[in-house]
Structure 1
Amino acid sequence: MEAGDGREAIAFFDVETTVPGPWGGTRRSLLEFGAILVCPRQLVEVGSYSTLIRPADSSATSVRCNGINPETVASAPSFPEVADQIFAILHGRVWAGHNIVEFDCRVIREAFAETGRAPPEPKGIIDTLPLLTQTFRRRAGDMKLANLACYFGLGQQKHRSLDDVRMNIEVLKCCATVLFLETSFPDLFSIKSPGMSCTIIPASEGCSSFAGFLEPDEVSVQDIRAAIAPSGYGGHKLRILHGDCPLRLHCMGLKVQFGPRGQFKDHAGWPKLNIVVYIPESLCKVLDACDLLAQISSQNSSSRSDWKHVIMKNGYSNPYSIRLHIPIVANGDAAIYSTEIYKKDLSGNKQKLVFTTCDVVELASLIVPGTSLDAYFWVDTYDHLQRAGIRLEAKKLILCSQ
């Protein structure tokens, strides 16, 4: 790597590592480091460097969607062999990257600590994940680099260090351009402001097809299975299948026990919403089978997370209930529910509720305890922060008039 304009150049960098936990050993090891030096005045590349890294424990090297495996790094240098070069690139410069504060910076410091030497120190840090989440909000969903690249038509993330760094720089340029245009020409690029968010249109104008959702009585418990499959971000995920297809359920006449509450937030500040509904015995049998199979598969995969059962047993006259999650997606500078929500009158006519922003108070006034609803939902799994279980994501809710 050329020095470029000395310490003034911004060091955009990215690391690839083994996958910690159930499918990647017990510790995280560096597999690849890539950096690009960028002139802050002209935003041009003045130098670059990348290297594969052979981990000390080669048995922990996991096959990733990036194709890095034990054979790939067998002849690569060890971290002590490249530590001087990485130190020279990073020390005394501004560091930049996507989610580097929580991930890449920690990995670099841990790697230097293991060699017994002082780590490089930044002049400053630009983490584009919280920066863009705050300024660009959630227009690209969860604001992961892959989704941002897709939003701007930059192609698919490769999960290789130097490629991801270049993609990060291009994403940053695109976001900055959009924000500049919106600030300079507010009348041409207006963004909807929050207000009364819900309007009603006939269901025929916006009702999507929900074929493939099975009622509990249509599900054969013997055909339910749990399978581990590659995920879109380089790891693996436990999936619940009915035969060879993802299990999707439709259940009618569920009674609401608790409506949505907005006290918990995600990293972007949007509420994490769910409702609790009582369920019939037929649905209980299906979900019990899913829960058991998924828990066994999770344990067999060496997951150390605590398993949280999907069915809550209340001990009341109707003893079983579940949480239906209502996901949120970006809508300009605001957010809306990705769950389709309808109201059905006593004659069976349905009208779609269209929300222009996420208003928890308004939604809670529609989904109150005792409300009867028909639900279409996906059966998914999660394993995060030492907690694992089944997540039920509502795709469509039909609120029935009392």
Structure 2
Amino acid sequence: MPAAPFQPMVFVDLETTGSTGTVDRITEIGIVELNEEGEVREWSSLVNPQTSIPGFIQSLTGITNDMVAGAPTFAELADEVLSRLHGRLFVAHNARFDYGFLKSEFKRLGLDFKAPVLCTVKLSRKLFPQYSKHNLDALVERHGLHMPARHRALADADVLRQFWQVLQLQLPGETLKEAVDALTGRSSWPAHLDPALLDELPERHGVYLFHGDNDLPLYIGKANNLRQRVLSHFSADHRMAKEMSLAQQARRLTWIETTGEMGALLKEAQLIKQWQPTLNRRLRRNNELCTWRLVPLSDEEGDDGAVRPELAWARDLDWGRQDQVYGLFGSQKDAVKTLREIAESAQLCLVTLGLEKVVAGRPCFGYQLHQCSGACIGEESVADHSERLRNVMADWRVQTWPYGGPVAVQEGRGWHVLDAWCYLGTATSEAEVKSLLSQGRPTFDKDTYKILVSWLPRLRVEPLSDTRRDPS
């Protein structure tokens, strides 16, 4: 009897109609189960792919269209396959291929399949780096494995089981365990976090939160694949100072699934503003957010149509309804610095802009350096100077909210409720929409504004009526 594994395992091989899991289909499944006692169970089945098998693949595998014509479809085999894979380490050669195909087949049935995965190509490379080839044929030759029928699913799956048995017999148990743990993410998983979370993390869009000793969030991030992104924090090639600190301080991990990437971006920005995690540097709440407005000069100060820049604080503006505002700056210092740079590049007068003071009738310092066109001494009219200011500031203009009121944006099965560049939340029902609208708008947020400016043109936008009805 083979040596017992570290945990229940399934060695899996598939034959398919092509190489793309989202388009091509499975034609044969081979599964070899190995339980904690080392007992082996084999199962295989041809699968009707409900499409034609290309000729070159028929020649490669020996599986013809006639052979699968009377075979069960994957939908008919799904329960059987799922029961054999459930709760076991998924082992395959080039595992991304087999795992991806099965995920796609289950997804077509509305099922979210996930499992811990071990790739035997990566395992062979890690344990035997002195060899250049690690394909299945190389493993068979190198380790004296028995393969009666190449490119048939059960035979290929059993070769992987034989390879595992050889490793158990030839290598120290701790060496093998360290290699498996490293490849499945367990070796770098923080000691204070529940290891069961490794298998619970979904491969979906969402936001994740690492909590510390006081249970407050240490770090909040977004992900298109929660499992992959969380594991990346602790992989060997990501051991930066932040990740080291996170690994040492994290005591709990939670996550929120979202309906898509936009929802993850919005939720991440919202939660970071709410909790201000110590290890997040980006997206934090900014109480000094400000902008420039172009306001008319008083009648006694200048010509008709002349304007001057005036600093305005975000907290004092009705964002989204406010017109003629330019730039979003984290502080007054940043705003003034940027306006100075704009002025110098366009030869605008710092005195006329209100950024410098000189004795009346005297030119500004920039004029002496040929960086001012002379508005300070009347060589350029204030109206002309104002027109040039408007033109150069146009690229910095903050967009006005393009809708008459709140809107809902559909992403997946949810609706993001938005108003005046603010994210109110995500709803899946009429009651949730009404509840979000009743809470009013949150404070304007620069990061949410940038997300919405980028994403709104791509998605369906549904204005919400005064009755605050469900957009669906």
Category of TM-score, reference length = shorter chain = 0.3 to 0.5
The answer to which structure has the higher helix fraction is 2
Bigger CA radius of gyration: 2
TM-score normalized by structure 1?
0.38
The answer to which structure has the higher strand fraction is 1
Name the structure, 1 or 2, with higher relative contact order (CA <8 Å, separation 6+): 1
TM-score normalized by structure 2?
0.33
